[in-house]
Structure 1
Amino acid sequence: MNHREIAEELVTKLGGKNNVISAAHCATRLRLVIEDESQIDKNAIEELDGVKGAFSSSGQFQIIFGTGTVNKVYQHFAPIVGVSMEENNSNKSESHGDSAKRKMNPLARFARTLSNIFVPIIPAIVAAGMLMGLLGLVKTYNWVDPESGLFVMLDMFSSAAFIILPILIGFSAAKEFGANGYLGAVIGGIMIHPNLLNPWGLSNAEPTTLDFFGFGVEMLGYQGTVIPVLLTVFIMAQIEKGLRKVIPHVIDLLVTPFLTVIFTGFVALLVIGPLGRMLGNGITTILDVVYNSAGPIAGLLFGGLYSTIVLTGVHHSFHAIEAELLNVGGNYLLPIWAMANVAQGGATLAVFFKTKNSKTKEIALPAAVSTFLGITEPAIFGVNLKYRRPFIGAAIGGALGGAYVVFTQVMANGIGLTGIPQFAIVQDPINYGIGFIIAVVGAFISTLLLGWKEESK
């Protein structure tokens, strides 16, 4: 494979270097913001050596090369279109993200913003979720005395991420909103201050009410909450930006943070925090009603439709809802999403076994494996959506698996992980595994029964 020739041909088939606004790459895909996508010869691009699929999503035209290949192609592609490797890793990646956002519709842009806030936090929540799963096993099988020092310390480790979640969100959200990340963390810290009663340990205790100039402020903390801190930090970002416009530069370092924290602190505890708590409680209550009343039917619908939602990019906003659900016993949405994802792998496996097209076989097998590890784009855009009916077969498998995990009330202790990695954070690995098999086999059989039109090439 000549990576330089591929890069040169790619530029031509994209409509020339002037048609490429910005470029970046992830582990498997070249991500491009294009001026005019009508100039792209998509079919010709998909025939290039090493290309496993191409699609347009979230304001970007994305070309799947796979791990190890994409970075080698990018090394030659970047200089041709005027992007340096250093820029891709720092400032250019930020401008690339801004360019991509400008190409999105408002709903997709909102979803992408939430995704950018939560993706950096996922490792902390995953670690906490895995520790919770380990503690659950320890407690169920009496491996360790719950009063022992080991158990108590592990319990502290597992709950820490959720207790300081507002600080983590505050820092990440402030950066995404263009404000000072550390001021965002301070606002998160105010919302979980020790003087505020921790709702996690509320039990029968009643929070005190503070008299603030005749206005009663309930001294209840926001440990583990999501929406209140998101709204508050958004307001904080607007306050900080507004102050920087009017405060002289010579005193900006002293005055702007001082006033930002004061104004935002009052807004957080008096207005936005309580409203955000009501909104978060309302969302989780509605979801609980649907989950408990519709039961497997809800899983059938969500599992069947999730991959279609992925095509719109709106699924990026679900992280915030899932994080909110962790406060009410567990994340019951993530196992449903996982069923939809692995079903895409089942459909792609069916294509692999039946197709006579050698290039499709080359793409399908690694794409199927990647879905079982939680990465679905190669399967969806490189295979299933291309032939259409396999995508429908995957929806059927996802619906069946979704119905089963809801019926057995499978829940997760975290967010972000699907497929095989989710076994580490689910509360019921056995039923999750059964749902996994149902989704994959259901998608595999459905795809074979539906069939698809085989390409002559």
Structure 2
Amino acid sequence: MDYNQKAKEILEAIGGADNVEAAAHCATRLRLVLKDESLVDEAKLDKMDVVKGTFATGGQFQIIIGSGTVNQVYAKLAPLAGVSEMTTKDDVKKAGTKKLNPIQQFVKVLSDIFVPIIPAIVAAGLLMGINNILTAEDLFYDGMSLIDANPGIADLASLINTFANAAFVFLPILIGFSAAQRFGGNAFLGAALGMLMVHPDLLNGYGYADALLEGTIPVWNILGFEIEKVGYQGTVLPILVAAFILAKIEQLLRKVIPAALDNLLTPLFTLFITGILTFTFVGPITRTGGDMITGGLVWLFETAGFIGGGLFGLIYAPIVITGMHHSFIAVETQLLADLARTGGSFIFPVAAMSNVAQGAAALAVIFITANKKMKSIASASGISALLGISEPAMFGVNLKLRYPFIAAIIGAAIGSAYITLNKVLSVAIGPAGLPGIIAIRVDVILHFIIGMVLTFVVAFALTFVFAKRQQLKEKKNESNAA
């Protein structure tokens, strides 16, 4: 492939070098911040064999090219566009943020904080799923679990459970590091703040409710003022707010403390002041707020039933288009961190239904379209969606043709309604697709599988129905024109 020629063609189609403000690439896509997206000739891009799809989101115009090829094209595009090959994703994010409205900016902040820690949460969650399979009764044996039938693996299950719990027990440390960095503070001070909030000398946060009922909450008595010695294990909102305050206090102190004393006094006062504020005001208030949000979501899931689940499944893919789905990560993390009360997350199973539906619709297009390029994109992206990555199928195939996207969201709605009716919950965050089975509560895995099959069949079949309808409509228009 002549990558230099491909880069020139892409650059011409996006409005030339003068229209490129920043550029970077990920594993499969060019990520561009353009001065004027109206100058983009999408029809020209669609005709290029190297381009698998395009879409605009989060202030960026993204061109799907594919793994192994995108970096080669970017290497030729960067000098032609007059941007440095050292342009980082952070630079693109900052440039793109300027074009976002306040709500989009808020969602982006949550995304920037939680996306980096997803691997740790996914690993812990999937380990939790494995532990559930080992310890669940009646899954493989009547009235017994795998470890009951095979006592020799009991310690293995215990070890896996310890590994699985770590990321959620010490969740404030992960979030503290990422959030402080995002808010412009020292990431290691953010991690230290998270450590303060889960220190073993504190009452474990999971035992707070019982201690409150029994009136046995330990306190620090400082000059007659009592501060509760309570930890924040498995919480999200307290450390988010505390990390924001820490970053702002640090920035303020660096302006007023002499440079000679900065490295000594700034970290000291930053951590001490933020710690005091966290345990006196921020923590108690945000813990209550987080509990209310979690309780409200659980109530909605249990009350709205299959109707609520169906509506959520219907709108999930449109939410992904806007990028707003990144805000679900914070909510889902809280639901999973408080499994004893919530039982799990209903968000992940619905996301899995949505991705499977997008994949099914894209795969159906293989048998409908005569366009060889579209067949190629549909096959690769359809499989990718079934495995949990739906954007290539959604933007590269389904939204372009419209009717597969409509079929997909209907299929997702029906599948989501079914799994919600049967109280399907996940105990982890994992690949939201076929591999996600391991993240589902053992007692409802069968319903999750049925939901995926139902979703796939409906989306696949409706794509054919809508395609036939589209063809009849086009023939009718042609005959009227004649």
Match of 2:191, SS? helix
CA distance in 2, matches of 1:9, 1:204: 66
Following the alignment from structure 1 to structure 2, what is the Cα–Cα distance between the partners of residues 364 and 377? 12
Task: Say if 2:152 is the partner of 1:156.
Answer: no
Aligned to 1:289: 299
Is residue 2:263 matched to residue 1:253?
yes
**Count of residue correspondences:** 452
Aligned equivalent of 1:389, options 385, 403, 407: 403
1:134 maps to a residue whose letter is: I
Q: CA deviation at 1:93?
A: 2.2
Q: Deviations over 1:327-373 (max 9, x none)?
A: 13212211111111111111112222111222221211111111012
Question: 1:152-231 counterparts in 2 under 5 A?
Answer: 152-201=158-207, 204-205=210-211, 206-231=216-241
Deviates more, 1:446-455 or 1:69-78: 446-455
Moved more, 349-358 or 3-12: 349-358
Equivalent position of 2:139 in the other structure:
none
1:271 aligns with 2:286: no
Deviation at 1:84, TM superposition (A): 3.8
1:122–1:416 Cα contact (<8 Å) kept: no
Shift in Å at residue 99 of structure 1?
0.7
Task: Give the residue type in structure 1 aligned to 2:464.
Answer: L
> Which runs of at least 4 in structure 1 moved beyond 6 Å after TM superposition?
none
Q: Which of 134, 137, 142 is residue 146 of structure 2 equivalent to?
A: 142
Secondary structure (helix, strand or coil) at the match of 2:367 reads helix
Determine the structure 2 residue equivalent to 1:437.
453
Taking the aligned partners of 2:20 and 2:108, their CA distance within structure 1 comes to 21
Q: Kindly state the Cα deviation for residue 267 of structure 1 after the two structures are TM-superposed.
A: 1.1
- C-alpha separation in 2, matches of 1:155 and 1:15: 54
Q: Which residue of 1 aligns with 2:432?
A: 418
How far is 1:219 from its partner? Answer: 2.2
Structure 1 position 201, deviation (Å): 4.7
Task: Structure 1: state its 5+ residue gaps.
Answer: none
Contact 1:114–1:320 (Cα < 8 Å) also in 2: yes
- State the TM-score, normalized to the length of structure 1: 0.94
Determine the C-alpha separation between the residues in 1 that align with 2:297 and 2:191. Answer: 29
Q: Alpha carbons of 1:203 and 1:237: their partners in 2 closer, same or farther (altered >3 Å)?
A: closer
> Bigger shift: 137-146 or 261-270?
137-146
Q: Residue in 2 aligned with 1:351?
A: 365
Q: Which residue does 2:90 correspond to in 1?
A: 94
**Residue 262 and residue 114 in structure 1: after superposition, are their counterparts in 2 closer, same or farther (change >3 A)?**
same
Distance in 1 (alpha carbons) for counterparts of 2:74 and 2:398: 26
Residue number in structure 1 paired with 2:329: 319
- SS of the counterpart of 2:385? helix
**Equivalents in 2 of 1:47, 1:258: separation in Å?**
59
Supply the distance in 2 between the matched residues of 1:313 and 1:212 (Cα, whole angstroms). 46
Shift in alpha-carbon separation, 1:453–1:71, aligned structure 2, 3 A:
farther
Query: How far apart, in 2, do the equivalents of 1:128 and 1:146 lie?
Result: 23
- Shifted more, 410-419 versus 378-387: the winner is 410-419
Instruction: Provide the C-alpha distance between the structure 1 equivalents of 2:74 and 2:470, rounded to a whole number of angstroms.
Output: 33
Q: 1:25-104 alignment to 2 at 5 Å?
A: 25-85=25-85, 87-88=86-87, 92-104=88-100
Counterpart secondary structure, 1:21 = strand
Compared CA separation, residues 202 and 139, structure 1 to 2 (3 A): farther
Residue 343 of structure 1 contacts residue 439 of structure 1 at CA under 8 Å; is this kept in 2?
yes
- Mapped partners of 1:137, 1:225: distance in 2: 26
Name stretches of at least 5 consecutive residues in structure 2 with no aligned partner.
Answer: 137-144, 476-482
1:111 corresponds to which letter in structure 2?
A: V
Paired letter, 1:59: G
Can you list the C-alpha shifts for 1:270-290, whole angstroms capped at 9, x where unaligned? 111111111111111111111
1:52-85 CA deviation, whole Å, 9 max, x = no partner?
A: 1111111100011122221121121112123344
* Structure 1 position 453, deviation (Å): 4.5
TM-score, scaled relative to structure 2 = 0.90
